[in-house]
Amino acid sequence: MALIMFDMDGTLINSSTPLVNTINYVREKLGFERLERELILESVNDPKINAAEFFYGTSDFTLQQQKLFEEYYDANCLNGLQLYDGIKKLIDDLSSDFTLTVATNANSFFAKKMLDHLEVGHYFNTILGFDSVKNPKPHPEMINKILDTHSIKNTKAQVIGDSHKDIMAATNAGVDSVLVNWGFSNHTKDAIETIEELEIKIKNKFLI
């Protein structure tokens, strides 16, 4: 059975409200001004940006930053959370023909909490977050770990994501990928616009 790896934030779920609010909460606690919503969302997905430096002015995330983020996010990550239109039907349609997994740069505890809250967590055989690997996306470690977990060859898998980090991670693991344009980034090329296009791409690769 072929395997589909979904990114979570910006691909399966619109978590923009809790994400933006949490980053701005941490910034304010550290003495920085709030940032505009769109700037935060674009920057989170940009593989050329060091997120710790961009958001908090340090070369790496500090324990204080992580603690502030996780405490606030844990209390607020379900606020304003939504599945993108058509996602529930898509994964339900795919679940009988594919092994479905999640590869997210979010913490795996929060990822499972959010997906379960939206009543789709049970569709995914594996939900892997950044805390389960040494190197998050765009490094291929997360992709390779999921392939190994399910004993699936890279030619029998596909990565779906809204960020170039997702596409780079897939490419680095030798896995086919699809870039979607309903998430946090506004791609000008090589991205599909609708759930219908995504389902066609998946089925064309594996079922025809």
Enclosing domain of residue 141: 3-14+82-206
Q: What CATH number is attached to the domain comprising 192?
A: 3.40.50.1000
Q: Are residues 141 and 41 in the same domain?
A: no
Q: Which of 76, 103, 121 is the last residue of a domain?
A: 76
Task: Reply yes or no on whether the pLDDT at 208 is more than 90.
Answer: no
Instruction: Specify the pTM.
Output: 0.95
Q: HSE (CB half, 13 Å, CA atoms) of 101?
A: 25
CB 198 within 8 A of CB 192: yes
Q: What is the pLDDT of residues 84-98, one digit of tens each?
A: 999 999 999 999 999
| Model pLDDT, residue 29 | 98
Q: If you average pLDDT over residues 153-181, what whole number do you get?
A: 97
Residue 51: band (very low, low, confident or very high) from pLDDT cuts 50, 70, 90 = very high
Q: What is the pLDDT of residues 131-150, one digit of tens each?
A: 999 999 999 999 999 999 99
144 Cα distance to chain centroid: 16
| Model pLDDT, residue 207 | 77
Q: Are residues 63 and 154 in the same domain?
A: no
| Model pLDDT, residue 163 | 95
Q: Are residues 99 and 181 in the same domain?
A: yes
Q: If you average pLDDT over residues 48-57, what whole number do you get?
A: 96
Q: Are residues 111 and 198 in the same domain?
A: yes
Q: If you average pLDDT over residues 10-26, what whole number do you get?
A: 97
Residues with Cβ within 8 Å of 30's Cβ and at least 6 positions away in sequence, in order, are 56, 57, 65, 68
Task: Reply yes or no on whether the pLDDT at 185 is more than 90.
Answer: no
For residues 47 and 64, what is the distance between their CA atoms, to the nearest angstrom?
24
Q: Are residues 72 and 54 in the same domain?
A: yes
Mean pLDDT of the chain: 96
Kindly write down the DSSP assignment for every residue of 47-88, as one continuous string: TTS-HHHHHHSSSS--HHHHHHHHHHHHHHTTTT-EEPTTHH
Number of domain units in the chain? 2
Task: Reply yes or no on whether the pLDDT at 161 is more than 90.
Answer: yes
Q: What is the pLDDT of residues 107-133, one digit of tens each?
A: 999 999 999 999 999 999 999 999 999
Tell which residue, 106, 55, 98, 90, has the closest CA to residue 180. 90
